[in-house]
Structure 1
Amino acid sequence: MADKNFEITHNEGRKRFEISVDGREAGYASYVPREEKVLDFNHTVVDQAFRGQGLSTPLIRAALDWAREEGASVRTTCSAVEHFVKKNEDYREICVD
């Protein structure tokens, strides 16, 4: 991934964070607002052409950092997000069941 230029943007209209590599959409992490201030991160997708490049880590990190800044709690029904939180314990404080 070191030779790739990636950008992460928050597409509020589609309720997801999108990652682009060299200007091409490579994946996204979507969420659904639930109870007040609870976001269910329910789906993470990396396009097959970009898999194995470590793109889900910065994508999920950006999404969870945004949730934290917003003062929101996070539900991790997406297995990729759940796995990320297990490996990065400092995000557990914002997670709910």
Structure 2
Amino acid sequence: MTDKLDIDVRDNPERSRYEAVHDGEVIGFAEYDKTEDVVVFTHTVVDSGYEGKGVAGQLVRFALDAVRDEGTREVVPQCSYVKGWIAKHPDYIPLVYGQAKPAAD
């Protein structure tokens, strides 16, 4: 992996996706379907010219943090990238639908 690229990530609910933006251009996205209870991440794409620069990881972290901060839904990671990213970042496993939640203090 090369240097991490500085991007902005935003939710674009009209297109049902989180978008990675660099220099005003969308260079990647994570598509989702939302229900009352879950956010299903279906597909993640990064433009080939930006692969290996940490775009997908930043994008997925932002999206999962947004779900966690909202606090009302769980995540269904159908996308293989999102599924693999969560496996490498176990602190996000409690967000996954059907996974054990930590005990309340």
TM norm structure 2: 0.83
Measured against aligned partners, the alpha-carbon deviations of 1:51-87 in whole angstroms (never above 9, x if no partner) come to 1111111100000001111221000000000011000
Q: For 1:13, what is the secondary structure of its paired residue?
A: coil
The residue identity in structure 2 corresponding to 1:13 is E
* Contact kept in structure 2, 1:5 and 1:22, CA below 8 Å: no
Matches within 5 A, 1:1-97: 1-2=3-4, 4-34=5-35, 36-71=36-71, 72-96=73-97
Q: Which residue of structure 1 lines up, in the alignment, with residue 101 of structure 2?
A: none
Q: Percent of aligned positions with the same letter in both sequences? A: 36
Deviation at 1:14, TM superposition (A): 1.0
Gaps of 5+ in 1: none
Deviation at 1:92, TM superposition (A): 0.4
> Deviation above 2 Å: which 4+ runs of structure 1?
none
Aligned equivalents of 2:6, 2:24: Cα separation in 1: 8
Deviation at 1:15, TM superposition (A): 1.2
Task: Please provide the CA RMSD for this pair.
Answer: 1.3
TM norm structure 1: 0.90
* Contact kept in structure 2, 1:76 and 1:95, CA below 8 Å: yes
Aligned equivalents of 2:70, 2:8: Cα separation in 1: 21
Q: How many residues are aligned here?
A: 95
The residue identity in structure 1 corresponding to 2:76 is R
Aligned equivalents of 1:49, 1:10: Cα separation in 2: 22
* Contact kept in structure 2, 1:10 and 1:18, CA below 8 Å: yes
Q: For 2:14, what is the secondary structure of its paired residue?
A: helix
